[in-house]
Amino acid sequence: MDRRSFYFIKFNIFIIILFIVNGLFIHDILKHLNDIHVSLKGDETVVISYKTSYEDPGFEIINNKQDVDISNATYELISDVDSSKLGEYEVKYTIKYMNKDYTLIRKVEVKDTIGPTITTTVDKVERSYCDNKLSADVEYSAVDDVDGEVTESVTREDSDDKITLKVKDSSNNESILEIPIVNVEKPSNKIVLNGKSIQTIGVGGTYKEEGAYYADGCGTKIDDNIDIAGSVDTSKEGKYTITYTSKTDNKIKTTRTITVKEMPKAQTAPVTGNSVIYLTFDDGPCAYTKRILDILDKYNIKATFFVTNQIRGYQNMIGEEARRGHTVGVHTYTHQWNIYNSLDSYWNDFNNMDAIIEQQTGKKAEILRFPGGTSNRMAKVGMSNIVNSVNNKGLRYYDWNVCVEDAGACVKSSNKQQCVYNYFVNGLKPGRDNIVLLHDLKSYTADSLERMIQYALSKGYTFKAIDQNTAQVHFKPYK
């Protein structure tokens, strides 16, 4: 073989080897390209709750089974997700990596997945041993993120040990709230006083012993075999104690405390030099009382509520008034004019209401307001006689010197809120105690309250609740 043939063969072998090497290199590149996987992180379809923030988890690139830093790729993200609106949305990625384009799409569904929120005024209810009745009615409300107020859709189921409240929203999400019922144990026998356990009488007044009786824990009379010890001298100031002991069981006893003191004379439209407003609300509580309490809380204002039992389902609001720092007084139990037929009928009505106040607040009332005011003409027994009886018991009563007419002229007004506001503004006088008559039984009074407060504050008035130091405003009793 000549040299020329040898080199030719050698060159051909080199070319063949070169082709083989290049082929392997290209194959390796193609292999790596085929090992690239571009995919979404997480699920391709995602469900999120209404009004929750959404942050897409993104995508990933796997090259030859290894994670790739996505900063080496270029991409565009387009998303129309709006969690404030129910519906289906799309998240789209357009990705370029190693000169190749990829498109990834994720579906995002915004759904209502959370049931309504149920709120109540109590966390438990007691069942009385004596009459098997529940201690309080359960007031509740329900609000849904999507549907809004759904209170009317709440159903209630009572069993021996709980009250169950259920409600569903339009997306069929159900919420359940259980309120436990606690059975009160049998109460012990006791002595029940006729009349108040704590009384105040003016010097020179009359103390009438009302007696007591022995009863079981439910108040059912067992007998009248009671020993009564002690006396009251109404001719001089002092504190006196009357002790009542059961003859059946001398370990069971109770006391009545009577304070005899000089009673302060009432002032009419007292001039104090201070511009003070006493907001007083009659005839409630009712459906609008809580809104009024919330407005008063907003401005840190304390007021006075002369309460009734006209709407029995709202008795618990009397306790709420006291818990929020307001003064609670007796207005009337029935708000019927026949309470003025006699002294007995008046005090029966008063005591019925006072018992509810004591149950709700833990103490009896110290103040009152007569239905119709002291000058009303409905009293057959005469308002002067009732006033004297109130004074002898050491109670204080309040009329008013600012009337907003929310139960009078404004009832027929075409713009009741403006009418109430005008009477309020025109009735205020600086430099005195302004006792303002309002009624929380009127929706337009609640609607007008915040505006009235803002006006008074802008004029430098301060607000107070009636207390022991508040001078009494009295009308002249009618006969």
Q: Fill in the DSSP letter of residue 384.
A: H
Specify the pLDDT at position 226: 94
Residue-level pLDDT at 399 = 96
Mean pLDDT of the chain: 88
How many residues are there in the chain?
A: 479
Residue 19, pLDDT score: 61
Say yes or no: 236 and 134 in one domain. no
Kindly tell me if the per-residue pLDDT of 28 is higher than 60: no
Query: Pick from 147, 162, 183: which residue ends a domain?
Result: 183
pLDDT of residue 11: 62
User: Helix 343-361 crosses helix 383-392 at what angle (to 10 degrees)?
Assistant: 40
CATH number of 179's domain: 2.60.40
Q: How confident is the model at residue 412 (pLDDT cuts 50, 70, 90)?
A: confident
Q: Which residue has the higher pLDDT, 148 or 304?
A: 304
Residues 306, 356 within the same domain: yes
Question: For 255-271, how does the pLDDT look when each residue is reduced to its tens digit (9 = 90+)?
Answer: 999 988 876 444 444 44
What is the C-alpha separation between 321 and 332, in angstroms, rounded? 17
Residue 311 lies in a domain: yes
| Residues 94-121, mean pLDDT to the nearest whole number | 92
High-pLDDT (> 70) share of the chain, %: 90
Instruction: Measure the N-to-C terminal CA separation of the chain; round to a whole number of Å.
Output: 155
Write down the pLDDT at residue 265.
Answer: 45
Whether residue 446 is predicted with pLDDT greater than 90 in this model: the reply is: yes
Query: pLDDT above 90 covers what percent of the chain?
Result: 61
Provide the 8-state DSSP code for 472. P
Whether residue 93 lies inside any domain: the answer is: yes
Query: Using one digit for the tens of pLDDT, what is the confidence trace for 365-408?
Result: 999 999 999 988 888 888 988 999 999 998 999 999 999 999 88
Mean of pLDDT values over 6-17 = 65
Q: pLDDT band for position 10 (50/70/90)?
A: low
Residue 268: per-residue pLDDT: 44
Residue 313 lies in a domain: yes
Residue 471 Rama label (left phi>0; alpha psi -120 to 50; beta): beta
Same domain, 319 and 257: no
Q: Which residues contact 251 (CB under 8 A, 6 or more apart)?
A: none
On whether both 281 and 375 belong to a single domain, the answer is: yes
Strand partners, 36: 63
Q: Is 282 in the same domain as 378? A: yes
Phi and psi based region of residue 58 (left: phi greater than 0; alpha: psi -120 to 50; beta: remaining): left
Task: Give the lowest-confidence range in 38-42, 127-131, 442-446.
Answer: 127-131
Is 12 inside a domain boundary? no
Q: How confident is the model at residue 6 (pLDDT cuts 50, 70, 90)?
A: low
Determine the pLDDT at residue 272.
52
Answer yes or no: do 320 and 425 share one domain.
yes
Q: How confident is the model over 49-67, as a mean pLDDT?
A: 90
Q: CATH code at 198?
A: 2.60.40.10
Per the domain annotation, does 46 fall within a domain?
yes
Whether residues 90 and 139 fall in one domain: no
194 lies in a domain? yes
| Over residues 352-365, mean pLDDT | 94
Task: Say yes or no to pLDDT of 166 above 50.
Answer: yes
Does the pLDDT value for residue 345 go beyond 60? Answer: yes
Distance, in Å, from the CA atom of 134 to the CA atom of 429, rounded to the nearest integer, reads 47
Are 78 and 152 in the same domain? no
Give the residue with greater pLDDT, 229 vs 131: 229
Please indicate, yes or no, whether residues 177 and 196 belong to a single structural domain of this protein: no
Q: What residues are paired with 96 via a beta bridge?
A: 74, 101
Longest dimension (CA), the chain: 158
Q: Is residue 474 part of a domain?
A: no
Q: Which residue among 235, 261, 287 closes a domain?
A: 261
pLDDT in tens, 223-246: 989 999 999 998 989 999 999 999
HEC string of the chain?
A: CCHHHHHHHHHHHHHHHHHHHHHHHHHHHHHHHHCEEEEECCCCEEEEECCCCCCCCCEEEEECCEECCHHHCEEEEEECCCCCCCEEEEEEEEEEECCEEEEEEEEEEEECCCCCEEEECCCCEEECCCCCCECCCCCEEEEECCCEECHHHCEEEECCCEEEEEEECCCCCEEEEEEEEEECCCCCCEEEECCCCEEEEECCCCCCCCCEEEECCCCCEEECCEEEECCCCCCCCEEEEEEEEECCCCCCEEEEEEEEECCCCCCCCCECCCCEEEEEEECCCCCCHHHHHHHHHHCCCCCEEEECCCCHHHCHHHHHHHHCCCEEEECCCCCCHHHHCCHHHHHHHHHHHHHHHHHHHCCCCCEECCCCCCCCCCCCCCHHHHHHHHHHCCCEECCCCEECCCCCHHHHCCCHHHHHHHHHHHHCCCCEEEEEEEECCCHHHHHHHHHHHHHHHHCCCEECCCCCCCCCCCCCCCC
Mean predicted confidence (pLDDT) in 279-284:
96
Band of pLDDT at residue 202, cut at 50, 70 and 90: confident
What is the per-residue pLDDT for 474? Answer: 92
What mean pLDDT is predicted for residues 69-98? 92
Residue 276 has pLDDT above 90, yes or no: yes
Of the three residues 78, 111, 144, the one that is the final residue of a domain is 111
Residue 201 has pLDDT above 50, yes or no: yes
- pLDDT for res 41: 93
Does residue 477 lie in a domain region? no
User: What pLDDT shows up at residue 49?
Assistant: 92
296 & 343 share domain = yes
Tokens of 63: 């090259």
Reply yes or no on whether the pLDDT at 205 is more than 90: no
Is there a single domain that holds both residue 194 and residue 316?
A: no
Q: Which domain holds residue 450?
A: 276-463
CATH of the domain at 291: 3.20.20.370
pLDDT at 46 > cutoff 70: yes
**Mean pLDDT, rounded, for 316-345:** 93
Q: How many domains does the chain have?
A: 4
| Claim: this prediction has a pTM higher than 0.85 | no
Together in a domain, 218 and 127? no
